[in-house]
Chains A and B, each alone.
Chain A
């Protein structure tokens, strides 16, 4: 369970003036509000990282994305299906209760409850056995090479507090549920909730009894959702906000030129790709069959797209074009997976003619317009390039909530998806969710219904393989098949683009998640 994550960030606080730390408030401008505080209520990684300020997992990712102990100090594999976690002593919740094994047992079982939206994020957990006050055994259905990676995303709540407030049953935000835990929180984390006004402001204050040595020098965090990118930049430039995420790429020059603020940019892990509808009919086509099932048509689409131009113009040279479904830093990547088909519109036309569509055909292209870096811009450019080889793409750009609902229901022909392999940080995430045929807990994000028996077979083998080398070899093989089949059309890894006031120091993690408990403000 070791990762070599090549993070290139350098914005680390030197801590020279740490001793003179005064009351510092971080005003954080985000693009959207969090859903609520329930740590098991939603699957969005953005919500989860904010909640991470309040609640903590057994093990956590450091800003450099190495796994490090959090509420568990160490662990040991007793049997392949029984893993023992030794819990930290002297940890208290915000309300003063002591943290113990029962909290872990109740929280983990809450997260994998059949009604919990998070159940897929901790697959294979059968039971939690309490050994003593500070020791638990996790009973798994099979060997789980990625258990620690999964656990980074499962937060621990206080069992007594949940019982008192009738909150032991999980709630599912997607199903229209709201409970006590949506607007109240009681964690062990570095910050506690002071107040919350949905869509306006959420205030956290420092938890003075935190078990860890704080890296931050904050006393208060104000989370303010500002959905318009231009307004977000304006607020940063006028000094109303200390840190914004994301910062629009097109405004980078303006931000750099302005005094007292700066851009924070780095390559990210999130791969942006287009999914294909591979079922028997198009949703919005003008032909009987589904031309996208023909590999020549998919190749033609790939050849028609000039990613270098998109990188230069739309992404301002900041993205990393790719042919692989995962970033080079993620286990499962191999250089040969990243060999891109060249931009060649003539070949694209030829391939289309060969496949029997010399005059093209109509189909939907669905995108988000509020989720990824310049998502709508990318799609408009893509559509223009496809139109130039004779295809008739019909562009639909929507807010993420509508887009993902539609895409997952299989109502699109080509749809945009970004995948950072979170919280696993492992290629298995892509294999199990996006490449395995949809069945059971596999293929949950494979609405185009790509299906290849060998990929399925490899995926199931990888799931229980404990030997790192063998796992990676199998992953590379499976990704190779998917690449050959052009199951998905990878575009690029989007850059991390944040912007901050001078003096605000934060390590820009490659997963694009702002770990606010590591922020230092120097004046």
Chain B
């Protein structure tokens, strides 16, 4: 187990170094870092000085090393767009995205798992078939179309829920939360529904498939033959075996939620990291893009590594290196 743990952590570090390399290449080769630092009318002498000060005269691997060292302390320099430290920008935006993603993740589990169980247990009922079809519609419906429809119906026609922003937020230390005000909670409803819909259908379909497979196994057939009641079989034996892969996939999909938050934040003008990133892509704001990439990768790597470790501690057979379920979402 210890060997597995160490291997996984080394792997995570290699991944982060690779991501940092991409981020570094963006910094180094997109746009001229010098011309953004000096006044337009600077002389060649002044440019050379800045070049030296920035360390751009050093060999590339030295520059890369410095970049990693700075990135590790959260220093990504200033945003090209609005000249604020990138780390401050991300720290300001992080709570908004985190709260949105958490609520959406919770929603997709709380709704998706029961629906998946239901459709697996009654695969031929009308409701289950309907749900199965709806789930396909859910996967096919572009999330931005869903968002537009939600705003149109619930904000404009019915006037029940806000169409943009986080409502009133309260600062707790550096964290700004919308969880403890009424308007903050109301503002969360539509965006989190929009964000969770895709994951919800995915989880539902996954639970259904896994559950149906488990129900067909000899182990369950045997339990049935022993005369155990359906309820006991379904919930004590089948569900437990179903949920292990679901948790793994869910870990991976949490990353998907963070990425999809980009679209949700654009549609609902949610002041999170995703909206910041899309602005940066539009403006070619490399420091923000690079920092977002590194931060999000870091979150992914942490989630994936912990899911792997969790998984391995539940199921020792998987401690071989070849684990990692297919998935990934679109």
Interface residues of A (CB under 8 A from B): 35, 173, 175-178, 197-201, 224, 226-228, 231, 234-235, 237-240, 399, 401-402
Contact = CB atoms under 8 A, between A and B. Distances in A.
A200 B268 CA distance: 12
20 contacts: A35-B82, A173-B82, A175-B39, A176-B83, A177-B83, A178-B83, A197-B176, A198-B82, A198-B89, A199-B271, A201-B165, A227-B269, A235-B162, A237-B155, A238-B156, A238-B163, A240-B162, A240-B163, A399-B282, A402-B283
Interface string B75-86: 000101111100
B153 to A, nearest CB: 11
A200 B163 contact: no
Interface string B139-167: 00000000000010001100100111110
Contact of B166 (A35, A173, A200): A200
Nearest to B166: A200
Contacts of A238: 155-156, 159, 162-163
Contacts of A201: 165
Interface string B58-82: 0000000000000000000010111
Given A197-B271, A239-B159, 9 more contacts: A173-B83, A176-B78, A198-B89, A200-B165, A231-B151, A235-B164, A238-B156, A238-B162, A238-B163
Contact of B269 (A35, A173, A178, A231): A231
Interface string B249-289: 00000000000000000001101000110000011100000
A224 B282 CA distance: 21
Interface residues of chain A: helix, strand, loop or mixed (majority):
loop
B36 interface: yes
A177 B89 CA distance: 15
A-B residue pairs, 6 tightest by C-beta: A176-B83, A200-B271, A234-B163, A238-B155, A231-B164, A238-B159
Choose among A177, A231, A238 the residue with the greatest number of B CB atoms under 10 Å from its CB. A238
A198 B276 CA distance: 11
A397 B92 CA distance: 30
Contacts of B39: 175
A178 B83 CA distance: 7
A226 B83 contact: no
A240 B269 CA distance: 14
Nearest to A232: B164
Nearest to A177: B83
B155 A234 contact: yes
A382 to B, nearest CB: 23
A197 B162 contact: no
**Most central of B163, B166, B268 by chain A CB within 10 Å:** B163
Contacts, number: 67
Contacts of B163: 231, 234-235, 238, 240
B66 to A, nearest CB: 20
A226 B164 CA distance: 8
A40 to B, nearest CB: 15
B283 A401 contact: yes
Range class of the B interface residue count: 20 to 34
A226 B270 CA distance: 10
A201 B284 CA distance: 25
A424 B282 CA distance: 33
B75 to A, nearest CB: 15
Contacts of A224: 165
Contacts of A402: 283-284
B159 A176 contact: no
Given A226-B164, A231-B163, A234-B164, A197 B92 contact: yes
A240 B268 CA distance: 13
A369 to B, nearest CB: 10
A381 B37 CA distance: 38
A18 to B, nearest CB: 29
Contacts of B89: 198
Contacts of B164: 226, 231, 234-235, 240
B269 A228 contact: yes
Contacts of B166: 200
B269 A401 contact: no
Given A176-B83, A399-B282, A401-B283, A234 B151 contact: yes
Contacts of B162: 235, 238, 240
Contacts of A231: 151, 163-164, 268-269
Contacts of B271: 197, 199-200
A178 B159 CA distance: 40
B92 A401 contact: no
A237 B283 contact: no
A178 B78 CA distance: 10
A375 to B, nearest CB: 16
B165 A401 contact: no
B198 to A, nearest CB: 22
Nearest to B284: A402
A198 B176 contact: no
A366 to B, nearest CB: 16
Most buried by A among B80, B81, B83, B176: B83
Contacts of B269: 226-228, 231
B269 to A, nearest CB: 5
A345 B89 CA distance: 51
Nearest to A402: B283
Nearest to B85: A178
Nearest to B271: A200
Nearest to A173: B83
Contacts of B165: 200-201, 224, 226, 240
* Among A201, A227, A240: residue with most chain B CB under 10 A: A240
Contacts of A199: 271, 275-276
Nearest to A33: B82
A459 B97 CA distance: 54
Nearest to A409: B40
Interface in B217-243: none
Nearest to B80: A176
Nearest to A183: B84
B168 to A, nearest CB: 9
A41 B124 CA distance: 68
Nearest to A408: B40
Contacts of A227: 269
A188 to B, nearest CB: 27
Given A197-B271, A224-B165, A176 B151 contact: no
Contacts of B81: 401
A224 B283 CA distance: 21
Nearest to A41: B83
Most buried by A among B80, B156, B166: B156
Contacts of B284: 402
Nearest to A195: B171
Contacts of B169: 197
A474 to B, nearest CB: 32
Contacts of A177: 83
A353 B78 CA distance: 51
A447 to B, nearest CB: 13
Given A226-B164, A226-B269, A234-B164, A399 B283 contact: yes
A239 B186 CA distance: 14
A199 B266 CA distance: 13
A234 B152 CA distance: 8
A447 B140 CA distance: 49
Question: Of B92, B156, B162, B164, which is in contact with the most chain A CB atoms at under 10 Å from its CB?
Answer: B164
A1 to B, nearest CB: 34
Contacts of B155: 234-235, 237-238
